[in-house]
């Protein structure tokens, strides 16, 4: 594809990482604008871009795509400020933002000014504690949640290709639902790993290598789901209708980690639902497992208890 000319507004982690992939893929960053000059300079160095500023007016005409990678609370303000740029012609310019929660509608002032707009949310986690260069390999080839009018979607697909990625069209009315799914994929998985660490601390106090213990089973589970489906990949006591085993798990949790009981009960119920899809349970087993889990779920949840 022809090299693109792209400006970045918001020189944080996402802007730096996506900008870096674009540069490595032969595209050119025409300007980096941020709230602080120090961030803009740091990002500019990473992206081989000398035009760095706190002022949107430095974005040169000829820029084809402007990526707004500020926090989502600033996106509407930036869009309004860009639309007010008096000397800038918006014909043929595409503008997107990276927020998971906002649709293309957040860029309405720019669309009214003549720009093509779209949302462009990278379905990846970009921890601020990591240097952008470390995140780059994990952000190649990802999927972007997008919405916009047909011309905007075409630009979104082009930008995703420039980043070695693909797009997922998200109906605007499902934006929050879509974002909740991304939270499950990353944040809830992280919480689940935190829970595993808590189990490991009880079993082997003083040993911090919980991932060494659990990585093989985690990796195989992910691979089995990838190769088949969540229902087909499900193994273990719930899938076998092992109410007795689950009851003993609850007793053990009471003794060693009572704060985890509501989690274990809720997830057992969800696992029963998956096992029903797998069709390995009798209706009696379903009922026993559900009654057992519900009896523990109804117990009061005390937030002050740590794992
Ligand atoms: N982090 C993730 O895992 C992740 C994943 C997917 C999508 N996103 C989305 O990507 C966007 C950026 O996230 P991030 O993690 O990169 O945030 P970040 O590291 O906090 O970076 C945001 C950058 O925007 C700059 N900024 C703030 N207000 C501005 C304004 N009014 N004008 C210009 N620049 C401004 C900040 O300024 P200074 O540094 O210059 O002060 C900062 O460098 C957000 O919409 C977020 O929801 C994040």
CB 75 within 8 A of CB 46: no
Residue 247 maps to a domain: yes
Residue 306 maps to a domain: no
Quote the pLDDT of residue 298.
76
Segment-wise mean pLDDT, segments of 10 residues, the chain, 307 residues: 96 98 98 98 98 98 98 98 95 98 98 98 96 96 98 98 98 98 97 96 92 97 98 97 98 95 96 95 97 88 59
Pick from 116, 138, 170: which residue ends a domain? 170
Q: Looking at the structure, tell me whether residues 60 and 31 fall in a common domain.
A: yes
Is 19 touching ligand 1 by the criterion CB < 6 Å? no
Q: Looking at the structure, tell me whether residues 50 and 158 fall in a common domain.
A: yes
Domain span at residue 189? 179-297
Residue 130 CB neighbour total at 10 angstroms: 13
Residue 304 maps to a domain: no
Quote the pLDDT of residue 17.
98
Q: Looking at the structure, tell me whether residues 129 and 239 fall in a common domain.
A: no
CB 160 within 8 A of CB 144: yes
Q: Looking at the structure, tell me whether residues 188 and 162 fall in a common domain.
A: no
- Give per-residue burial for 173-202: e unless 16+ CB within 10 Å, then b: eebeebbeebeeeeeeeeeeeebbebbbee
Residue 234 maps to a domain: yes
Is 16 touching ligand 1 by the criterion CB < 6 Å? no
Is 44 touching ligand 1 by the criterion CB < 6 Å? no
Residue 307 maps to a domain: no
Burial class (CB in 10 A: 0-12, 13-18, 19+), 110: buried
Give me ligand 1 centre to Cα 128, in Å: 10
| Number of separate domains in the chain | 2
User: What six digits make up the tokens of 30?
Assistant: 């025409």
Give me ligand 1 centre to Cα 37, in Å: 14
Q: Of ligand 1's atoms, which has the minimum distance to the CA of residue 74?
A: 31
Pick from 170, 198, 232: which residue ends a domain? 170
Residue 248 maps to a domain: yes
Q: Looking at the structure, tell me whether residues 123 and 39 fall in a common domain.
A: yes
CATH number at residue 124: 3.40.50.720
Q: Looking at the structure, tell me whether residues 149 and 188 fall in a common domain.
A: no
Give me ligand 1 centre to Cα 97, in Å: 10
Ligand 1, pocket-test mutation among 36, 55, 69, most atoms within 8 A of CB: 69
Task: Give the pairing type, strands 143-148 and 52-53.
Answer: unpaired
Is 34 touching ligand 1 by the criterion CB < 6 Å? yes
Is 125 touching ligand 1 by the criterion CB < 6 Å? yes
Is 11 touching ligand 1 by the criterion CB < 6 Å? yes
Is 296 touching ligand 1 by the criterion CB < 6 Å? no
Is 12 touching ligand 1 by the criterion CB < 6 Å? yes
pTM, full prediction? 0.94
Quote the pLDDT of residue 1.
86
DSSP the chain: -PPPEEEEES-SHHHHHHHHHHHHTT-EEEEEE-SSHHHHHHHHHHTT---EES-GGGSPTT--EEEE-S-HHHHHHHHHHHHT-TT---TT-EEEE--SS--GGGGHHHHHHT-EEEEEEESS---TTS-HHHHHHHHTT-EEEEEESHHHHHHHHHHHHHTT-EEEE--GGGHHHHHHHHHIIIIIHHHHHHHHHHHHHHHSTT---HHHHHHHHHHHHHHHHHHS-HHHH--STTTTT-HHHHHHHHHHHHHH-GGGHHHHHHHHHHHHHHHHHHT-S-HHHHHHHHHHHHHHHTSPP-TT---
Q: Looking at the structure, tell me whether residues 96 and 142 fall in a common domain.
A: yes
Is 201 touching ligand 1 by the criterion CB < 6 Å? no
Pick from 110, 141, 170: which residue ends a domain? 170
Q: Looking at the structure, tell me whether residues 165 and 205 fall in a common domain.
A: no
Residue 302 maps to a domain: no
Helix axes 189-203, 210-227, angle to 10 degrees: 140
Q: Looking at the structure, tell me whether residues 187 and 122 fall in a common domain.
A: no
Q: Looking at the structure, tell me whether residues 63 and 142 fall in a common domain.
A: yes
Phi then psi for 299, rounded to 5 degrees? -70, 150
Q: Looking at the structure, tell me whether residues 38 and 155 fall in a common domain.
A: yes
Q: Looking at the structure, tell me whether residues 251 and 128 fall in a common domain.
A: no
């Amino acid at each position: 594809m022809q090299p693109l000319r792209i400006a970045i507004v918001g020189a944080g982690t996402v802007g730096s990482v996506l900008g870096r992939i674009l540069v490595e893929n032969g595209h050119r960053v025409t300007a980096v604008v941020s709230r602080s000059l120090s961030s803009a300079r740091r990002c500019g160095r990473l992206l081989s871009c000398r035009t760095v500023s706190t002022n949107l007016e430095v974005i040169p005409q000829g820029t084809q795509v402007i990526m707004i990678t500020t926090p989502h609370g600033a996106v509407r303000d930036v869009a309004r400020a860009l639309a007010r740029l008096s000397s800038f012609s918006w014909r043929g310019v595409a503008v997107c933002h990276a927020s998971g929660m906002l649709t293309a509608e957040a860029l309405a002032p720019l669309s009214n000014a003549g720009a093509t707009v779209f949302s462009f949310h990278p379905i990846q986690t970009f921890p601020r504690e990591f240097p952008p260069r470390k995140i780059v390999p994990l952000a190649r080839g990802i999927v972007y949640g997008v919405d916009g009018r047909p011309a905007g979607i075409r630009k979104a697909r082009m930008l995703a290709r420039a980043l070695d990625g693909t797009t997922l069209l998200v109906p605007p009315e499902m934006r929050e639902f879509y974002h909740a799914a991304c939270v499950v994929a990353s944040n809830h998985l992280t919480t689940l790993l935190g829970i595993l660490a808590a189990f490991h601390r009880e079993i082997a106090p003083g040993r911090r290598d919980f991932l060494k213990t659990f990585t093989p089973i985690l990796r195989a589970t992910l691979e089995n789901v990838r190769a088949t489906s969540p229902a087909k990949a499900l193994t273990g006591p719930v899938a076998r209708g092992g109410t007795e085993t689950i009851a003993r798990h609850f007793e053990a949790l009471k003794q060693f980690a009572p704060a985890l009981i509501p989690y274990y009960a809720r997830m057992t119920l969800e696992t029963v639902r998956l096992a029903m899809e797998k069709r390995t349970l009798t209706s009696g087993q379903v009922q026993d497992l559900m009654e057992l889990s519900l009896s523990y779920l109804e117990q009061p949840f005390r937030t002050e208890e740590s794992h």
